[in-house]
Amino acid sequence: MVDLPLSYACPEKNKWQKPHEADEDCRAHRNRNQNSDDTNENKKKGVTGGIIGLINLFLQNPEYLHITKDNMKAAAENNIRKLWNELYPGTEGAGELDTLLAELEEAAKRIEFGPQPEGWYKDAVVYSLYVDLFNHTFDGLSEKLDQIKELGVNCLWLLPILDSPMRDAGFDIRDYRNIRAELLGLPADTPAEEKQRAFRDFLSLARSKGLKVIFDVAMNHTSEEHPWFAEARKGPENPYRDYYIWNRDTNKYKETRLIFKGMVPSNWEKAGDWYFFHRFFEFQPDLNYRNPKVLLEISRILMFWLSQGLDGFRADAIPYIWKEDGTNCENLPKAHTVIKIFRAVLDYVRPNTLLLAEACQPPVEVVKYFGEGDECHAGYHFPLMPMIFKSLAIQDAWSVHHVLHPSITPDIAPDNQWFTFLRLHDELTLEMVTPEDRELIHGHYCKDPRWDFRVGEGISARLSELLDRDHRKIGLAYSIMLTLPGTPIIYYGDEYAKLNDDEFYESYKKETGKDDTRYFVRGPLNWKKIGEELQDPGSLASRVNHLLRNQIRVRHSSRAFGRGGLQWVNPVLSHAKGNEKPVMAYFRSFSDDRILVLNNLSGGKISIENIDGQTPAGTDLLTGEKVTFPAEMQPFEYRWIKI
């Protein structure tokens, strides 16, 4: 991430400025709309990038009715051919391309599900969970779907459920078409067809309750127990050998960084007289997309799950899928070509199926994975999360201001979306912050040395642990996430103020021999305990659950939060000190809907005289109270005021 602690670049002025100067000179950028409803004429006519743009063009505009379904398929086929030839020029991979196109045509004919609503993910509140840790099995999860729905969630993100030895929480996939039998409450030797039928039944139940379902697919690597790798390691002559990356020594890809610093000594692992390449753990060999058979296989896997009724994919670790010697093997141009093919596959078979980029990169790199509307629909905004925690720690809004400035977070097309979060299944990553911010955030929040991850590059702690088990601070953090641009993610258990799970961490460490502190933030939910705590209105679980339900309910009442513009404003305080910004304040607007959000980051009362010299009046959507200025805010208070 770009370090701009004292100034940032104003695109209009093309110069570096102090914060107060930039506030004055860049007012136009305050009004930028990441997902503006005031789009260009092409967008109004339904013209967007990629195959999906052709479909929308056809459906929305009668003047284009001469474009037949065959025309659109022909355009899609030409696009895939063009992309394929960029990766595999000449006759290389020609047979695999013909196979892919034939199988796409067949998949499109047989799909039982129609196109999904355009942009449905913008109106989503996502709930991320491990099935087994949430409630043992899919049957257990099914029993809780009404409870999840009552929270306000309308999309489930299932953390890895595919067959796996579970040495990396399921991200080490052994079989891409097989659900882990224990998650379905079935014996290990249950036929694949029976497991697939059980999962389809779950998808049907979720759909009946208005819940979309997406899950993880690791596209960069497999488990070493995957049948492809079991064959590949037999020797150089094996037909699956080139599904992976092999070398006689470790002198290739030397510029590639270690992702699991402190846990893995090298990106190469010896197997016989050869070494295989891996970006993550040594039991997760990287796939070789230089082999067209690999791209065909992963495309087939996407088609298979579309046929089962899945609504989207979280594309895991996509910045690393293409490797070239002499580079850092991240964000390479041909990685984008591969992603374009994956998107084209989804659009061909079931339009508007979500492709979510898991790219732990600065926003300027992540937006490249949106392409021209022909790659991923959405991506995680990784740097925003630590800046929210920094703002809470120093009780000043500037950190969030500057990370969302267009010099750091570029504008995105109306069809794209950021996915935002406070906590997920991994650590609070500090990988992309400055050394100064890393020291500040790590020092403030790593309250137990055991929580350290990757030698100071992260903190493994649940939200309630980070925020001192204080429901006011937790509510404030959610207020920020739920009202800033993007689609919010709730991590399972956080709605009940779940704490770190020491027992689960220790059991994993003993079982695997890996000191992976991320297992502090995983662990099973204790539903008996949760039920008891929810009966006590004064318990932390009850307070957090109540406030979060209310916030999500209000968020769903206005499309301004998921689709509207963002306009930063300056609250004028009665007793301001210098350039401090203890109140994070902004308007969210969509069509005629305008909402003023005020977040008091400080532990003291604050009196607000006016907002940029104006005294708007409105109703606090969270409490129903009328609000006028001057107004007083209590410590860590937040207000969502409909003007």
In a domain, 606, yes or no: no
Shared-domain flag, residues 219 and 231:
no
Shared-domain flag, residues 435 and 379:
yes
Q: How far apart are CA 38 and CA 52, in angstroms?
A: 21
Q: How far apart are CA 237 and CA 411, in angstroms?
A: 49
In a domain, 54, yes or no: no
570 phi, psi to nearest 5 deg? -110, 110
> Is pLDDT at 619 greater than 80 in this prediction?
yes
pLDDT tens for 7-66 read 223 333 333 233 333 344 444 444 444 444 443 434 433 344 555 555 555 555 545 444
Q: Are 12 and 29 in contact (CB under 8 A)?
A: yes
Q: What CATH number is associated with residue 246? A: 3.90.400.10
Q: What is the DSSP string of 195-232?
A: HHHHHHHHHHHHHHTT-EEEEEEE-SB--TTSHHHHHH
* Percentage helix, strand, coil for the chain under 3-state DSSP, each rounded to 5: 40, 20, 40
Number of domains in the chain: 2
Shared-domain flag, residues 453 and 371:
yes
Closest-CA residue to 640 (of 581, 604, 589): 589
Catalytic-residue membership of 358: yes
Shared-domain flag, residues 163 and 270:
no
Across residues 286-302, what is the average pLDDT?
A: 98
Shared-domain flag, residues 365 and 446:
yes
Shared-domain flag, residues 188 and 253:
no
The pTM of this model reads: 0.88
Shared-domain flag, residues 240 and 381:
no
Q: Note down the domain range covering 385.
A: 120-224+287-330+354-556
Among 556, 580, 614, residue at a domain's last position: 556
pLDDT tens for 134-168 read 999 999 999 999 999 999 999 999 999 999 999 98
Among 556, 577, 597, residue at a domain's last position: 556
Shared-domain flag, residues 261 and 372:
no
In a domain, 270, yes or no: yes
Q: Among the options 216, 330, 358, 375, which is catalytic?
A: 358
Single-letter amino acid, residue 545: N
Across residues 166-182, what is the average pLDDT?
A: 94
In a domain, 205, yes or no: yes
Shared-domain flag, residues 195 and 236:
no
In a domain, 590, yes or no: no
In a domain, 446, yes or no: yes
In a domain, 209, yes or no: yes
Among 258, 277, 296, residue at a domain's last position: 277
Q: What CATH number is associated with residue 149? A: 3.20.20.80
Q: Among the options 224, 316, 330, 494, which is catalytic?
A: 316
Shared-domain flag, residues 360 and 247:
no
Q: Are 496 and 464 in contact (CB under 8 A)?
A: no
CB neighbours of 592 closer than 8 A, spacing ≥ 6?
none
pLDDT tens for 502-555 read 999 999 888 888 888 999 999 999 999 999 999 999 999 999 999 999 999 999
- For the record, the structure tokens of 560 come out as 């301004």
Mean pLDDT of the chain: 89
At 16 the three-state DSSP class reads strand
Please report the pLDDT score of residue 261 as a whole number.
82
Proportion of the chain above pLDDT 70, given as a percent: 88
Please report the pLDDT score of residue 34 as a whole number.
40
Shared-domain flag, residues 476 and 393:
yes
Shared-domain flag, residues 125 and 267:
no
